[in-house]
Amino acid sequence: MLRQVVATLLMTVAVFTFVLLLGNVLKEVLALLVNQQATFAMVGKAVGLLIPFVMVFALPMGMLTAALLICGRFSADHELTAVRASGVSLLAVISPLLLLSVALSCLCGVINMHVAPKCRVAYKSLLAEVGARQASAFLPEKTFVKIATNFIAYVGQVNESELEDILIYDLDSEGRVGSYARAETGRLTVDETNHVYHLFLRDVWHVSVFEGKYNAVPMDAVRLSYTNTPAARREQDLRISDMTFLQLRDELRRLENRIGVPPPLIPGTPEERQKKLRELRANRDDLTTPIRVQIHRQAAFSFACIGFTLVGIPLGIRAHRRETTFGIAVAIVLVLAYYSFIILGESLDTNPEYFPHLLVWAPNFLFQAIGVVMLWRANRGL
């Protein structure tokens, strides 16, 4: 049983991983390859960074499908009847599968709480690095872009790093055009180490505007430099969904320490202090609830393999069918039911009164409770 489940698990996890990767790869990575903005090695690195992110979903789905298929075949071939006739209980037969589900849950916990967020951040940084090398990411065609506090740029056509029909407006303190430069062609290079864009303009006309009069001066070449400070994103600027479990815990403690105020330190009458304290607690809950939801989501996701296995084994035995399509169809329905609770909890992360951080645990308790009851009934032959 364990050998057949592991073989089926490897196959189903590979299929689900491929399907889940397909959406991100086609949408973001392959588009860069087709446009010659990335190499095959960079695409391979991006796909490798996405695999841990999707494995958190693929492992539970693969374990559920494997349990349904193998246990359904086990029952349909009357092997279960032979096992019971020889005096061996169902729990003794499936105990290795339950231990396997616990091991997979531990693996999902490590991936979900640490590996996947790190890989997701690295993946986004890789895409940002690729985009920073392209002039179109900094200066899109036929669009006015503010590249500094007092400069606005317009480019008519962008071909990789080569530019055509360039306008650079220099604004004064009141936001009016003090001068502008027009160039037929130009080139944009990127200093990736210092996050600096260098813009070289050729055949430039520099036009000064003063009291409604224009003074045009021809120039052979002009070089402009612009520092892209947002490109050097700091760790504290990470999105909550991209944080590891330890980072989320530290962020939660930081917010609680910053907002929490002991009642004796609040000025005013006792009634005013209580009112102010309730406001502080409500403000704290509004800020910390999304972080709590993410922390509990990462932990709850890790136990999905156990719940899916407990439900999948008796369902496969009861179905008494060998068809692969039936097992996959049931697995998809159960997965949708499970993750609907997670999605509901995340959608309520701005409503702390509904305790969304506890709601994400509901599918685990529900699936495990139903699975235990179904296994008890199946073990007794009911």
Q: What is the pLDDT of residues 160-211, one digit of tens each?
A: 678 888 888 888 777 777 788 888 888 887 776 666 777 788 888 888 877 7
**pTM, whole model, 2 decimals?**
0.67
Tell me how far CA of residue 349 lies from CA of 114, 218, 357, in angstroms.
Answer: 22, 59, 8
Tell which phi-psi region holds residue 25, choosing left (phi > 0), alpha (psi between -120 and 50) or beta.
alpha
Domain positions in the chain: 2-133+288-379, 136-191+196-231
Q: Which residues are CB-contacts of 292 (< 8 A; sequence separation ≥ 6)? A: 252, 357
The answer to whether 335 and 58 are in contact (CB under 8 A) is: no
* Range of weakest confidence among 68-72, 187-191, 288-292, 307-311: 187-191
* Average pLDDT rounded to a whole number, residues 99-122: 92
Is pLDDT larger for residue 286 or for residue 84? 84
Q: What is the pLDDT of residue 32?
A: 64
More confident residue, 241 or 32: 241
Instruction: Tell me the per-residue pLDDT of 38-53, one tens digit each, with 9 for 90 and over.
Output: 677 777 888 888 888 8
Q: Which two tokens stand for residue 271?
A: 């009634």
State residue 150's pLDDT score.
Answer: 74
- 325-340 exposure pattern, b = at least 16 Cβ within 10 A, e = fewer: eebbebbeebbeebbe
The neighbouring-strand residues paired with 188 are 199
306: pLDDT strictly greater than 90: yes
* Residue from 7, 67, 63 nearest 312 by CA: 67
